[in-house]
Amino acid sequence: MIDVQAFCKSLKKAGYKFITGVPDSLLKELTYSFDYFFKKNHIISTNEGSAVALAIGNYLGTKTPGVVYLQNSGLGNIINPITSLANSKVYGIPILLIIGWRGEVYNGKQIKDEPQHKFQGLITIDQLKLLKIPYKIISSKTKNFTKVIRDLKKKSIIYQTPSAIIVRKDTFSKFKNKNKTRSKYNYFREDVIYDLISQLKNKKTHIVCTTGMASRELYEARIKKKENEFQDFLSVGGMGHASQIAAGLALTNKNKIVCIDGDGAFLMHTGALGISSKVKNLIHIVINNKSHDSVGGQPTLGNKLNLKKISKEFGYKNSYLIEKRSKIPVIINKCFKSKFSSMIIINCNQGYRKNLGRPGQNMIIRKKNFIKFIHKL
């Protein structure tokens, strides 16, 4: 494995001083180390496109290329600022991209991964080639990573373009000096989800659930309670878009539609809240554990921002903050009685069970079964 501290030292030695990005499970040890080595010059961005914009601004102010890290699923979010700003035919901004390769291909075969990573894993290298971004692939066996960093920086500066390091699974060693998050709550997101579906059992509704551990916890809760798992749409990919899927569904349905969101996903595309807040039969629930829990537990702005106030400003007629599990039934009933859109922020502790199950069915089958369920209700 590549020693994560040695990798950070190589970045510093190559002259990189500014780091920003969106956490990824393959890069989590690296993200922890960025906090330690770069301190205030490390910013966890709300989305990948914003991270590229931060790096562009930093370059304009310092004349020094920055680093942007992301999961390969975030490549879609950076295409616009890369092609319309950073590209050599526009402003020619050198940036080092560090990309976690989910659904990676090795020796011509794709490594088994979650359904949402299959297609993205296959096209990752082709995307970089199409964007004319020079790249190198590193793995646990890579010994000359310092040279990789140095060579890519040289290419970025010469050709005035972003360059990329593609990171395979299990590339980096563990980072020991992690900041542990403390919480005053004695319950977790899984507890909240279990309470929610218990409260929703006898109500005519459908759930759209955000990506990450939340979808897996919802799936497991349905199995445990022996309920129809196909009454929920699990947004296994497309982080930050669950609320708009729910809003689009709600516009076609007379029943209340419930969106279960996470704080990281909620903050990723906040402008969309101005749309979903106008959908009267939408109940938008944000489970706020103040972290990117599914990919390493790095902090989100949910730790600092007043999400209830934000949702109110975006137009949600009803806005609630829950800090005790016992309040969930009361607030849910209020929202179902209301004729207007509702936002519920539920604070909880960070963490999840390591033995969580995964939806076993093909996603196409899940889609068909969900559509059947909608039209039966």
| Model pLDDT for residues 306-323, shown as the tens digit of each residue | 999 999 999 999 999 999
* Mean pLDDT on 199-211: 91
What whole-number distance in Å separates Cα of residue 263 and Cα of residue 285?
A: 10
Give the Cα separation of 350 and 9 in Å (integer): 30
The CA angle 30-33-34, to the nearest 5 degrees, is 85
Cα–Cα distances in angstroms (integers) from residue 153 to residues 30, 34, 253, in the given order: 19, 18, 52
Tokens representing residue 225 in the block:
């309670």
Pairwise CA distance, residues 311 & 299, whole Å: 20
pLDDT at residue 132 greater than cutoff 70: yes
Neighbours of 366 (CB within 10 A): 20
Q: How far apart are CA 86 and CA 100, in angstroms?
A: 21
Q: Decide if domain 4-167 falls under CATH 3.30.1330.90.
A: no
Residue type, 356: L
What are the boundaries of each domain within the chain? 4-167, 189-376
Residue 167: C-alpha distances to residues 28, 61, 105, 375 (Å): 12, 29, 12, 44
Please tell me the distance from the alpha carbon of residue 305 to that of residue 42, in angstroms, as a whole number. Answer: 19
pLDDT tens, position by position, 95-122: 999 999 999 998 888 988 888 899 999 9
The pLDDT of 131-135, averaged and rounded, is 97
**Rounded mean pLDDT, 10-38:** 96
Alpha-carbon gap, residue 191 to 18, rounded angstroms? 38
User: Which pLDDT tens digit goes with each residue over 282-304?
Assistant: 999 999 999 998 888 898 999 89
Q: Which residues contact 184 (CB under 8 A, 6 or more apart)?
A: none
DSSP per-residue codes, 46-85? SSHHHHHHHHHHHHHHHS--EEEEEEGGGHHHHHHHIIII
Is a pLDDT exceeding 80 seen at residue 179? no
**In angstroms, rounded to a whole number, what is the distance separating the alpha carbons of residues 262 and 112?**
26
**Is the separation of the CB atoms in 366 and 115 below 8 Å?**
no
Return the closest-CA partner of residue 188 out of 298, 350, 321, 302: 350
The two three-digit tokens of residue 372, written as one number: 């059947």
User: Quick one: which H or E segment has residue 36?
Assistant: helix 28-38
pLDDT band, residue 356 (cuts 50/70/90): confident
Q: Which two tokens stand for residue 283?
A: 């109940």
**pLDDT of 360 over the 90 cut:** no
Q: Do domains 4-167 and 189-376 have the same CATH topology?
A: yes
Identify the pLDDT of residue 37.
Answer: 94
Q: Which CATH number fits domain 189-376: 2.60.40.10, 3.40.50.1980, 3.40.1190.20, 3.40.50.970?
A: 3.40.50.970
Is the C-alpha dihedral spanning 252, 253, 256, 257 positive or negative? negative
Distance CA 25, CA 21 (A): 13
Mean of pLDDT over the chain = 94
Tell me: pLDDT of 178 over 80: no
Task: Kindly report the number of other CB atoms within 10 A of residue 59's CB atom.
Answer: 18
Find the helix or strand (DSSP H, E) in which 346 lies.
strand 342-347
Task: Say what the pTM is.
Answer: 0.92
Cβ contacts of residue 307 below 8 Å, gap of 6+?
Answer: 263, 266, 286, 288, 321, 345
Q: pLDDT value at position 364? A: 93
